Structures are given as structure tokens and as C-alpha cells.
Homo-oligomer: A and B are copies of this chain.
Amino acid sequence: MAPDLRLSAAVTVDLVVLAVRDDALQVLMVRRGTAPYAGRRALPGGFVEADEDLLQAARRELLEETGVRLGRAHIEQLRAYGSPRRDPRGRVVSVAHLVVLPEASVPSAGSDADAAQWQPVHDLLAAPRKLAFDHATILRDAAQRVEDALEDSALATRLCRAPFTVAELRAVYEVVWDQELDARNFHRKMTGTPGLLVDTGRVTTRNGGRPAALFRPGRTTRLNPPLVRG
């Protein structure tokens, strides 16, 4: 490395892994074993290796710390956090990533992974001081992005395990927005958006009542016009 390059900081990736479980938006958290913030809950994450992309680092840390292998699941960069005092050990700039998994994905399994546990986002944000570093801020930003993304993107389809019914998709919206939606208008909106949902031709009665069509996510990624919150 050239001598004029100042190695000014450590660079980490942090992961906000979200899924809907038990009618709540939940996040995968680990328990810190060492100082600083020993014993506190923290977002999974770690240092970026020398030859890694930020996204590659995020995938590797996710696997190492939680045992979750990212298949087709959604991942995107959230933003960078670089307040000088966010880590008492020194200057650490963290690039936070948002991962969205279908319901009922791996709760936790593996070596490092035993420490990983699902927690309701709402509970954690109600007691932000209990989280390590500035992870409450990161979590808040991630939750906000998901809420906003549901309005005009197909992100909700990534929170459902395929194949899913329209009602199951609606349940995701209702949990994330904490708001009831009209089942009939929602149905029209989703099935009426070309390319958003692909009908598998199969049906299910797992939710009771009349059999419901089963869908998988389609190619359309934008919801236009958006679905607006009350």
C-alpha cells in the first residue's frame, strides 16, 4: 500500500436482518461476549477483509455470525455510520446493510450462530439504551426504510415464503405498518399490478375458508402507483 494512504479507520459491516415472525417485525440480534458493551445485544457484523467488497463482507458475516445463508433473499446497503465516538476502541466506520428474509427462516443454528436470536424490533426500539454502540439508531433507520419501501416496491413479497397467498402478503403490510388494510382493495391492487405476482396455479386452504391462489414474486420490483398508508 502506498505510503501516502492514511489508514484512518477500521471498516465494518453491520447487518439488520429482518423477518416477520409471530405477527411482529423481528430482527436477528447477537449477544456480545466481550467488551465494549459485553452482554448487550448487538447487530451481527464484523470487519471487512482486505479483498472483499462491502456486500461480500456482509454476506460472509451473516453466515459466520448467524448461520444464515443468503439465497435469493434481499440485501441492500442501508448507509454508513461514522461518528468518531461510536466505538470506544477507536475510529470505526460501519456500513450497515439491510437483509430481508421470508418468515420462519433459520431461527439459529451453527457455531457462532447460537448467540443469534430473533427479537421484536418494536421492543428493542422502546429500550434503545440496551443495545450496543449506535445500533438502535441503525435499527431505527432500517425499520423506517422497510416501512417506506412497502409503499412503492415489491419488498413485501420478499418477506413472505413463496408460494404465498395475497392474504399472507397483506399480513406483512399490516404488521409492518401496524395498520389494518381492506382485504378486497388490497387484493385488487396486488393482483392488478402487472408482473408483481406470478400465479403458481396451485391453491391452499391453510388459512381456512375458500381456497386461496398461491403466488410467487414476479419480475416487477416497483409498485406504481404506490400503496399509501392511511
- Residues of A at the B interface (CB closer than 8 Å) are 1-2, 4-11, 47-54, 77, 79-80, 82-84, 89-93, 95, 225-226, 228
- DSSP class of A's interface residues: helix, strand, loop or mixed? loop
Known pairs A80-B77, A91-B50; A7 contacts B5 (CB<8 A): no
Q: Nearest CB to that of A2 among chain B residues?
A: B89
Alpha-carbon distance A219/B115, docked complex (angstroms): 45
Alpha-carbon distance A2/B90, docked complex (angstroms): 7
B80 adjacent to A5 (CB under 8 Å):
no
Q: List chain B residues, Cβ under 8 A from A53.
A: 82-84
- How many copies of the shown chain assemble into the complex? 2
Q: List chain B residues, Cβ under 8 A from A47.
A: 6, 8
Q: Nearest CB to that of A226 among chain B residues?
A: B226
A89 adjacent to B1 (CB under 8 Å):
yes
B8 adjacent to A50 (CB under 8 Å):
yes
CB distance from A65 to the nearest CB of B (A): 17
Q: List chain B residues, Cβ under 8 A from A52.
A: 84
Alpha-carbon distance A95/B76, docked complex (angstroms): 16
Q: List chain B residues, Cβ under 8 A from A93.
A: 11, 48, 54, 93, 95
| A-B pairs, 5 with minimum CB distance | A1-B90, A54-B82, A2-B89, A7-B7, A80-B80
CB distance from A72 to the nearest CB of B (A): 22
Option from B2, B4, B7, B83 in Cβ contact (under 8 Å) with A9? B7
Q: List chain B residues, Cβ under 8 A from A79.
A: 77, 79-80
Alpha-carbon distance A36/B152, docked complex (angstroms): 41
Alpha-carbon distance A4/B84, docked complex (angstroms): 17
Q: List chain B residues, Cβ under 8 A from A82.
A: 11, 48, 53-54, 95
A5 adjacent to B54 (CB under 8 Å):
no
Q: List chain B residues, Cβ under 8 A from A228.
A: 225
Q: List chain B residues, Cβ under 8 A from A1.
A: 89-91
Q: Give 13 pairs: A residue, B residue, CB < 8 Å, sorted on A.
A: A1-B89, A2-B89, A4-B89, A7-B10, A8-B10, A8-B47, A8-B49, A51-B84, A54-B82, A54-B93, A80-B80, A93-B93, A225-B228
